[in-house]
Structure 1
Amino acid sequence: MKEAIEKHWSRDAGSYNKSVQTALRSEETKGPWKDIFSRVLGTSQLNILDVGTGPGSVALLLAEMGHRVTGVDFSEAMLDNAMRNNTALGLDVDFKKGDAENLPFADGTFDAVVNRFVLWTVPDPKKAIREWKRVLKPGGKLVIIDGNWYDNRNTLKRRIWRELSLPLVMITERRNPYTHKFGPELKKGIWCLGVERPEADKIFLEEESFRDIYLIEEINTKRPTLFEYLKYGYQEKAFLIAGSKKSI
């Protein structure tokens, strides 16, 4: 499953990175995300791990905010793009290849572990969260940003809207969105099919004894343009859930 997902994301890493590069240079896009991370993580400099960093979108944003950041990803193609973006922006993020469920770091290394749109892709979410907890310092914070991308509300209207949006994405973003569609075989391995989220995520954190669980049920980072609404309005709103590792 992990190898299949790695091949899926690596296959079109280059075209996906083009839209990311535009966002990395846009204060209109970055500003709301900076506000969200400041609210959840505070303003002190932290040692942060970004799991499933992809082309470095979150890692580079956090580095720009003054944090010391390490980004890990299972896809070498994504990491190549992340390192190029890092150089282009003149930042100092440490990018490494790593498995979200088996991280190459010692216990208690990081002040915070963050991930955006990653947990839904891992084969075993409980194992992943347990591993993220392991590398956190006591009192450190785990931040999960995700969405109900495959839920029980996948109505006919939403399915038709999504199919009609794909050519618009191709034209306006100059990338092939069809390569990011999960086929039937990959969908079988997605744990969150039919699962209510973020309710399930909250249970995962409680089972691992996270404290002070913090939830934002709908993240609206900016008012969408007409094109953005037509392209992505069918999607469920993203959510953020965070919790602190129990102190010793």
Structure 2
Amino acid sequence: MTDSVQAERLKRAVAEFWEADACGERYGDDQERIRYQLEPEVPTFANFPSGRGRDVLEIGVGMGADLLSWAKAGARVTGVDLTERAVEFTGQRLRSAGLSGEVRVADAEALPFPDASFDIVWSWGVLHHTPRSRTALREAARVLRPGGRYAVMVYHRRSWLALAAWVRFGLLRARPAMSLREAVSHIESPGTQAFTAKEIHQTVGDLLADLRVRPVLTHWDRRVAPGISQLLGDRAGWFLLVEGWKSIT
């Protein structure tokens, strides 16, 4: 089996996973409140008011909480997702709120937009789920206008939660030689990936100016490593926040 065929099969498996249960769907009508309560990093990092009057693309809309927040702040919003389920949920929520925006099914590895289409590209906890994540990370930069803001969260491999995954899927199953990379692949949808700051710089550093990549300690780290997770602070956090601006050349 070629790498390309294997990647497409994995992508279909990822789509089927999220089609069965959109991210956050289990929280029902409280999804937005619970999302921002568990992950207060979202509104802080997004800075939704900064989208006013700008063209904003969200890659991976899930239940639509963030896209609605951008729209409520006055942004012209476009959202894409790999699943029909997420697109349907988000489109309905926009209409119910009396907000306008375009939401459609699309592949993060091959975004259906010309170069330089958006002022802000936002993606929270999504791009590490697609098999060719590095391609997707570069696609997010491709569709940015010169000077546009790139704001993405992916999972951090050198984190407490990744270590907990290794304990669960490696150590406790008599597979101590399992790598953190393989352990993380068992989290959420099939083949989930996690990165280091260096890998992110190597992937998009040539496309973005003033690139900042920093881990953040999360609720999920504190949950799997209570007390001890505070010792290293954000250095071993599960979220890797990636921010930069499209190079002007």
Choose which of 213, 216, 222 in structure 2 pairs with 1:215. Answer: 213
Structure 1 equivalent of residue 136 of structure 2: 128
Give the structure 2 partner of residue 2 of structure 1.
11
SS of the aligned residue for 1:71 comes to: strand
The count of residues paired between Structure 1 and Structure 2 equals 214
- In 1, Cα distance between the equivalents of 2:244 and 2:138? 13
1:5 to 1:244, Cα distance in 2 relative to 1, 3 A: same
Moved more, 101-110 or 149-158: 149-158
Contact 2:126 2:154 in 1 (8 A): yes
Q: Which amino acid aligns with 1:144?
A: V
Q: Deviations over 1:160-208 (max 9, x none)?
A: 9xxxxxxxxxxxxxxxxxxx844xxx33xx454xxx52331122121x3
CA contact (8 A) 1:149 1:236 kept: no
Q: Is the 8 A contact 1:24 1:61 kept in 2?
A: no
**Aligned counterpart for 1:35 among listed residues 22, 32, 44:** 44
Q: Give 2:74's match in structure 1, choosing from 62, 66, 90.
A: 66
- Tell me if the contact between 1:34 and 1:65 (Cα under 8 Å) persists in the aligned partners: no
**% same residue:** 23
Q: Does 1:201 align with 2:200?
A: yes
Aligned CA-pair RMSD: 3.6
Structure 1 position 145 matched with structure 2 position 143: no
1:59 is paired with a residue whose SS is helix
Per-residue deviation, residues 73-108 of structure 1 (Å, max 9, x unmatched): 010011111122223333223211111011111221
Relative to 1, partners in 2 of residues 1:159 and 1:27: Cα closer, same or farther, differing over 3 Å?
closer
The answer (yes or no) to whether the contact 2:149–2:244 under 8 Å persists in 1 is yes
* Alignment TM-score, normalising by the size of structure 2: 0.70
Show structure 2 runs of 5+ residues with no match: 1-9, 170-186, 230-235
Q: Return the letter of the residue paired with 1:127.
A: T
Match of 1:175 in 2: none
Is 1:55 aligned to 2:63, yes or no? Answer: yes
Could you tell me how far 1:31 is from its partner in structure 2? 7.1
Counterpart code for 2:198? E
Cα distance in 2 for residues equivalent to 1:215 and 1:132: 16
Measured after TM superposition, the shift of residue 124 of structure 1 is: 1.3
1:33 Cα deviation (Å)? 3.2
Aligned partner of residue 47 in structure 2, secondary structure: helix
Q: CA deviation at 1:236?
A: 4.5
- CA contact 1:60–1:93 (8 Å) conserved in 2: no
Higher relative contact order (CA 8 A, sep 6+): 1
TM-score for both structures, normalised by structure 1: 0.71
User: Which aligned pairs between 1:1-248 and structure 2 lie closer than 5 A?
Assistant: 1-13=10-22, 16-19=24-27, 21-25=29-33, 29=37, 33-38=42-47, 42=50, 44-148=52-156, 153-155=162-164, 159=168, 181-182=188-189, 186-187=190-191, 190-192=192-194, 196-206=195-205, 208-218=206-216, 230=223, 236-248=237-249
* Residue type at the aligned position of 1:7: E
